[in-house]
Amino acid sequence: MGETDDRVWTDPDPGGLLRRLILLARLSEQVGRLDSRRLLLDRLLQRLMLFSRMADRLGIAAPENPLMCAVQREAELGCLECADWRRCLRWLDGKSPDDDYRAFCPNEGLFDVLPRQHSVNRPYGIGG
């Protein structure tokens, strides 16, 4: 009969966020300052860094399975399309301490389902 596959899916770079941030930063550096692609790359980099900071501040764990990777990618896309990124930036910088991110973040529902990490050493936190 058939054998069962007991292997566990593992990714050496869970979620790949740090890898994508580095790649975007390198691409942005390679494109000329006056090139219209530079604006797009810089915007993508800025929004992914906001996502990273939000994930770090909320204690979001790096995804450990394909489903959570997909949820994280969906949240990243939400940050790329966010119209309220300035409010997010103020909140992340501590300039709006009374605000609740759920009031302005389009990803609040996704952040609620992503697993939390209780360790101080978060694998992809950029700052915060």
Query: What pLDDT shows up at residue 24?
Result: 83
Specify if 73 maps to a domain. yes
Res. 83: pLDDT tops 80 = yes
Query: What pLDDT shows up at residue 15?
Result: 60
Check residues 79 and 35 and name the one with the higher pLDDT. Answer: 79
Sign of the dihedral defined by the CA atoms of residues 28, 38, 126, 108, in that order: negative
Cα separation, 71 vs 77, whole angstroms: 10
Range of the domain at 31: 16-113
**Across residues 72-101, what is the average pLDDT?**
91
Number of continuous H segments (helices) and E segments (strands) in the chain: 5, 0
Specify if 81 maps to a domain. yes
Specify if 21 maps to a domain. yes
pLDDT tens profile 27-62: 888 888 888 888 888 889 999 999 999 999 999 988
Specify if 20 maps to a domain. yes
> For the chain, what is the domain count?
1
Cα separation, 105 vs 109, whole angstroms: 9
